[in-house]
């Protein structure tokens, strides 16, 4: 049963949130003091008051109450077969996993071996170019939106215009090897291919004797393709080893091939869902594939927006991409704040991301910061009216970038040296200022609001 909640503020910008089982919300007040909430009612009230748009909209326990209150699009990773979904027949994407397994020709292979992604529980990589795969994906998304009409569209994750062999190029390898003895009697075997060094299921190694008994692994020396064994075997024994390795030499799909295949997939989905929203996650700096994808998609997400103390060049590229795309399409920025960040640095990162967003947003941007998809962050000052921008962002002589709105003045220092910013007449800062000026530390941003 839903509670009656107050409507959201009439903000001048859009605030979105990724909600994959949200169990906690942290809210900062106008003085940058924070309080955290973990009960369902307060989380719903906070979302209603401080958010405009949700990705997935799921609270802890698969509760979609939030998705019935705010505009929401549902999540789908259509580029991998997610094995654990086959254990949950009530999951909306269960038909996807089931159909993928029934059509192994839809899966990406290298020299006959199934490819996996090293993270995310060792997901199987799908062949995006397969026409039957594309048609099925479009039909599945349409069916979900018809069955669950409170969703306004689809959020398609892990979309990219290039095939990243460093992430996707692992397959399961089975070999026979002879046990050898090294210094001080250490037992080991040599394998033929580079062993995956990730910490997920795609780094699992299994060694068995000829009778099927498993041998315990003592350690791995990836650089020399060596697996050390506990003394449960003898030198000269032949064992079977199963491990995940880099794919051997094979013809990778070119960026052009992967971009075209992905664009065709987006086109199929859009054809099936019509006016419903299609948003993809995966816009990346240094690539231009968004031009083709946005011919079909209604918008995209930039995950990692101005994060990790970027260089000035990368920071500016982030702002320019936001400025360009948000003129005509929805552009979602998402910045993660590492947990256990010291309080002073935490608030600096939050305001750096928010002020940077205001520099580039041209009307269709949606902003978000969070600790994780289960722990959201909001700031009460983001509800302040800032009006329309009066100019595009510009750089001052001291390396600070500024942009003036009708009711706000935005300044960001993306450099590695501190810089002073004068407070324009009629504006005030929510933090302490001296002599009508503020010192901006490296990678710090601020928003001055017009005085009441």
The Cα 222–Cα 238 span in angstroms is 21
Closest CA to 159 of 31, 17, 301, 58: 301
Mean pLDDT calculated for residue range 92-110: 94
Last residue of some domain: 346, 362, 383? Answer: 383
Is position 115 within any domain?
no
Is position 301 within any domain?
yes
Give the pLDDT band of residue 140 (cuts 50, 70, 90): very high
Residues 68 and 160 in one domain: yes
Which phi-psi region, left, alpha or beta, contains residue 379 (left: φ > 0; alpha: ψ -120 to 50)? Answer: beta
Residue 4 has pLDDT above 60, yes or no: no
Residues 259 and 327 in one domain: yes
Is position 137 within any domain?
yes
Indicate the burial class of 3 (C-beta count within 10 angstroms; 0-12, 13-18, 19 or more): exposed
Cβ density class 322-349: b for 16+ within 10 Å, e for less: bbebbeebbbbbbbbbeeeeeeeebbbb
- The pLDDT score that the predictor gives to residue 10 is 60
The Cα 259–Cα 255 span in angstroms is 6
Q: What is the CA 325 to chain-centroid distance, rounded?
A: 18
- The pLDDT score that the predictor gives to residue 5 is 40
Question: Please, are residues 352 and 336 in contact by the beta-carbon 8 Å criterion?
Answer: no
Question: Please, are residues 73 and 155 in contact by the beta-carbon 8 Å criterion?
Answer: yes
Residues 95 and 219 in one domain: no
Last residue of some domain: 246, 280, 295? Answer: 246
Q: What is the DSSP letter of 140?
A: H
Residues 183 and 81 in one domain: no
Last residue of some domain: 221, 246, 271? Answer: 246
Residue 387 has pLDDT above 80, yes or no: yes
Question: Please, are residues 162 and 255 in contact by the beta-carbon 8 Å criterion?
Answer: yes
Residue 403 structural domain: 394-450
CATH of the domain at 52: 3.20.20
Residues 153 and 177 in one domain: no
- The pLDDT score that the predictor gives to residue 434 is 66
- The pLDDT score that the predictor gives to residue 433 is 67
Is position 116 within any domain?
no
Residues 402 and 379 in one domain: no
The Cα 366–Cα 375 span in angstroms is 18
Residues 188 and 256 in one domain: no
Mean pLDDT calculated for residue range 407-428: 94
Radius of gyration of the chain (CA): 25
Residue 217 has pLDDT above 90, yes or no: yes
Percent of the chain residues past pLDDT 90, beyond the cut? 81
Residues 19 and 157 in one domain: yes
DSSP-assigned beta bridge partners for residue 232: none
Total tally of structural domains belonging to the chain: 3
Give the pLDDT band of residue 166 (cuts 50, 70, 90): confident
């Amino acid at each position: 049963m839903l509670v009656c909640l107050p409507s959201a503020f009439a903000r001048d910008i859009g605030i979105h949130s990724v909600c994959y089982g949200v169990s906690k919300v942290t809210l900062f007040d106008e003085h940058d003091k924070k309080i955290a909430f973990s009960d369902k009612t307060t989380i719903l009230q906070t979302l209603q008051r401080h958010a405009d748009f949700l990705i997935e909209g799921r609270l802890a326990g698969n509760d979609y109450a939030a998705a019935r209150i705010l505009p929401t699009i549902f999540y789908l990773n259509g580029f991998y077969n997610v094995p654990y979904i086959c254990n949950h027949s009530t999951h909306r994407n269960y038909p996807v996993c089931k159909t993928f397994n029934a059509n192994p020709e839809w899966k990406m292979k290298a020299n006959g071996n199934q490819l996996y992604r090293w993270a995310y529980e060792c997901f199987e990589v799908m062949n995006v170019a397969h026409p039957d795969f594309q048609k099925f994906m479009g039909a599945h998304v349409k069916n979900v939106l018809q069955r669950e009409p409170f969703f306004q569209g689809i959020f398609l994750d892990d979309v990219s215009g290039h095939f990243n062999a460093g992430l996707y190029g692992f397959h399961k390898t089975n070999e026979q090897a002879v046990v050898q003895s090294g210094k001080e009697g250490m037992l080991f075997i040599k394998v033929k291919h580079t062993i995956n060094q990730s910490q997920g299921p795609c780094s699992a190694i299994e060694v068995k004797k000829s009778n099927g008994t498993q041998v315990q692994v003592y350690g791995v020396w990836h650089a020399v393709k060596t697996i050390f064994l506990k003394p449960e075997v003898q030198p000269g024994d032949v064992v079977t080893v199963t491990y995940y390795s880099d794919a051997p030499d094979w013809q990778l799909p070119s960026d052009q091939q992967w971009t075209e295949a992905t664009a065709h997939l987006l086109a199929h989905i859009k054809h099936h869902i019509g006016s419903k929203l299609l948003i993809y996650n995966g816009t990346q700096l240094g690539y231009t594939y968004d031009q083709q994808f946005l011919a079909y998609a209604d918008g995209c997400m930039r995950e990692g927006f101005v994060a990790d103390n970027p260089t000035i060049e990368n920071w500016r590229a982030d702002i320019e991409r936001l400025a360009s795309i948000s003129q005509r399409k929805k552009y979602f920025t998402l910045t993660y704040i590492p947990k256990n960040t010291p309080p002073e640095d935490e608030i600096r990162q939050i305001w750096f991301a928010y002020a940077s967003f205001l520099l580039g947003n041209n009307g269709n941007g949606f902003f978000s910061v969070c600790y994780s998809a289960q722990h959201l962050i909001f700031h009460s000052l983001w509800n302040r009216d800032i009006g329309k921008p009066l100019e595009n962002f510009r750089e001052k002589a001291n390396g600070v970038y500024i942009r003036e709105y009708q009711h706000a003045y935005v300044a960001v220092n993306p450099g590695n040296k501190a810089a002073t910013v004068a407070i324009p007449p009629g504006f005030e800062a929510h933090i302490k200022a001296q002599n009508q000026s503020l010192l901006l530390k490296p990678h710090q941003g601020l928003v001055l609001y017009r005085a009441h």
